[in-house]
Amino acid sequence: VPVATESIAEPMPKYECQRITRLKHHNHRFTTALALLEEHAGYLQSGKQDSRALAFRKAACSLKALHHPLTNIEEARKLPHIGRHSLEVIQDILEDGFSREVQDICDGDFYETMQLFTGIFGVGATTARKWYETGFRTLDDIRNDSTLSLKRDQKIGLDLYQDLNTPVSLAEADIIQDLVNSEVQKLQPGATVVLTGGFRRGKTEGHDVDLLISHPTEGKETGLLSAVLARLRGKDLLAYETMSANTYDPSSVSKKEYTLDHFERCFSIFKLDKSLISSTQNAKPTSESPAGVVQQGTSNPDRPHQGEEVSLERAGGTASFSEGDKTAEKTWVGRRVDLIIAPASQYAYALVGWTGSKHFNRSLRLYADHERNMKLTSHVLYDTVKHQYLPASSEEDVFHHLQLPYREPAERNC
């Protein structure tokens, strides 16, 4: 009797959270092209409620969950959420080995410039597009225009452009976690500092470090974030920080908005001392050559980086910092760090929410809502039929309440 493996004939489940989606799969030649089209669609629209970008993401997710390389278009037609446009792209890659549409996007200066500008911390697609339409093409065009009133985060984003556009390695993330944890333990022994986000899903590089802080005793996390930040500031480890208070309102769960969470948090930029980073850093990109894509920039298969080499060159090369002595090499590297505080009773939900992927969470929440009449957030799960909250002390509990098979973080890479 064969062991219970998923049969090829079995149709793929509709919700991404019902599937296993790993970082490495069999269809990168298609998903890299679709990821680029998703990103490009996001540049054209304003990011939120972007149905075109979402359609590309969903098509790519179905291909990522496939157990073998796709070899014919008929098979793609049978997969869930593969729209007409995505089918055409897949067909082009099957027939020609690349997508003309993707190639054209890469060849034009819109995509490249948008990548450059949205790479500035504090700059989203709307601002980047406005600058593109004004005629700006380089970071110096932005820096040298005195009529622009840049926000504080955008200014530091320009100053630290190169640092913040160099992927954070897992080793660096571990160093930052240790730095934060040692301060946290001094303030509140027994508190937990967990590396979440992409690194928890098994990525070896990321755009930032996501640290979820909690304490097994409810209430002991109160006040911890500002105290930790004060200590880090005292050690001159922060280049930027912006803190938001906890705005969690238990009565809001029954309302429609449940995508954003309300934890106390800090979006920051750490100064990571270069002497702490070992020489084994900045591993070379994995040598995959995705179809329809020229000169892949990084090993992150989720996010295409076509213009990267040009962008960094345009960014103006050397890593000097414009504070004080302008020619002095700085001794640290800027790294984006998100610190989130969750009380014990919400910890399991916070862990699921901050582990991601963003798209996995989206599917979990839709599944909870449409298939189980439950509202899932990063704080709670609420049964809208029984009118009760469902407490969870682990991620397994969360999946169990939703009557879904448990997925390891590494299986949530959709």
Helix (H) or strand (E) holding 209: strand 209-214
Cis preceding-peptide flag for 322 (omega within 30 of 0):
no
Residue 167 C-beta: closest distance to Mn ion, Å: 11
Q: Does 382 bind ligand CTP (CB under 6 A)?
A: no
Query: How many CB atoms within 10 Å of residue 49?
Result: 8
The CA–CA distances, whole Å, from 33 to 90, 139, 205, 412 equal 9, 26, 20, 20
Q: Does 197 bind Mn ion (CB under 5 A)?
A: yes
Task: Give CA–CA dist 321/241, Å, rounded.
Answer: 18
Applying CB under 5 A, among 210, 264, 308, 411 the residue interacting with Mn ion is 210
Token pair belonging to 319: 């890593």
273 is in an annotated binding site: no
* Residues across the chain: 414
Applying CB under 6 A, among 157, 198, 301, 304 the residue interacting with ligand CTP is 198
Q: Does 206 bind ligand CTP (CB under 6 A)?
A: yes
Please report, as residue ranges, which positions from 230 to 269 form the binding site for ligand CTP (by CB under 6 A).
261
Interface with Mn ion (CB under 5 A), residue total 7
Residue 107 C-beta: closest distance to Mn ion, Å: 30
Using CB positions, name the residue nearest to ligand CTP.
Answer: 356
Catalytically annotated residue among 338, 369, 383, 397:
338
Q: Does 177 bind ligand CTP (CB under 6 A)?
A: no
User: Which residues, 6+ apart, have CB-to-CB distance to 114 below 8 Å?
Assistant: 40, 43, 125, 128, 129, 132
Q: Does 301 bind ligand CTP (CB under 6 A)?
A: no
Catalytically annotated residue among 92, 208, 261, 302:
208
Q: Does 356 bind ligand CTP (CB under 6 A)?
A: yes
361 binds, among Mn ion, ligand CTP, none (CB under 5 to 8 A by kind): ligand CTP
Token pair belonging to 32: 């890299």
User: Looking at residue 24, what DSSP letter applies?
Assistant: S
Q: What are the backbone angles phi and psi of residue 399, rounded to the nearest 5°?
A: -65, -40
Q: Is 338 a catalytic residue?
A: yes
Q: Which stretch binds Mn ion (CB under 5 A): 105-113, 190-198, 240-248, 370-378?
A: 190-198
67 binds, among ligand CTP, Mn ion, none (CB under 5 to 8 A by kind): Mn ion
409 binds, among Mn ion, ligand CTP, none (CB under 5 to 8 A by kind): none
118 binds, among Mn ion, ligand CTP, none (CB under 5 to 8 A by kind): none
Q: What are the backbone angles phi and psi of residue 5, rounded to the nearest 5°?
A: -110, 160
Using CB positions, name the residue nearest to Mn ion.
Answer: 197
Q: Tokens 């949530």 identify what position?
A: 412
Q: Which stretch binds ligand CTP (CB under 6 A): 10-18, 249-257, 282-290, 355-363?
A: 355-363
Query: How many CB atoms within 10 Å of residue 391?
Result: 13
Q: Is 208 a catalytic residue?
A: yes
User: Which residues, 6+ apart, have CB-to-CB distance to 277 below 8 Å?
Assistant: 171, 172, 175, 333
Q: What is the DSSP string of 99-160?
A: -HHHHHHHHSHHHHHHHHHHTSTT--HHHHHHHHHHT--SHHHHHT-TT----HHHHHHHHT
302 is in an annotated binding site: no
Residue 23 C-beta: closest distance to Mn ion, Å: 12
Residue 26 C-beta: closest distance to Mn ion, Å: 6
107 is in an annotated binding site: no
Token pair belonging to 219: 């209430």
List residues near Mn ion by CB under 5 A: 67, 197-198, 206, 208, 210, 338
Residues identified as active-site: 208, 210, 338
| Binding-site annotation: residue ranges for Mg(2+) | 208, 210, 338
List residues near ligand CTP by CB under 6 A: 197-198, 203, 206-208, 210, 261, 353-354, 356-358, 361, 378
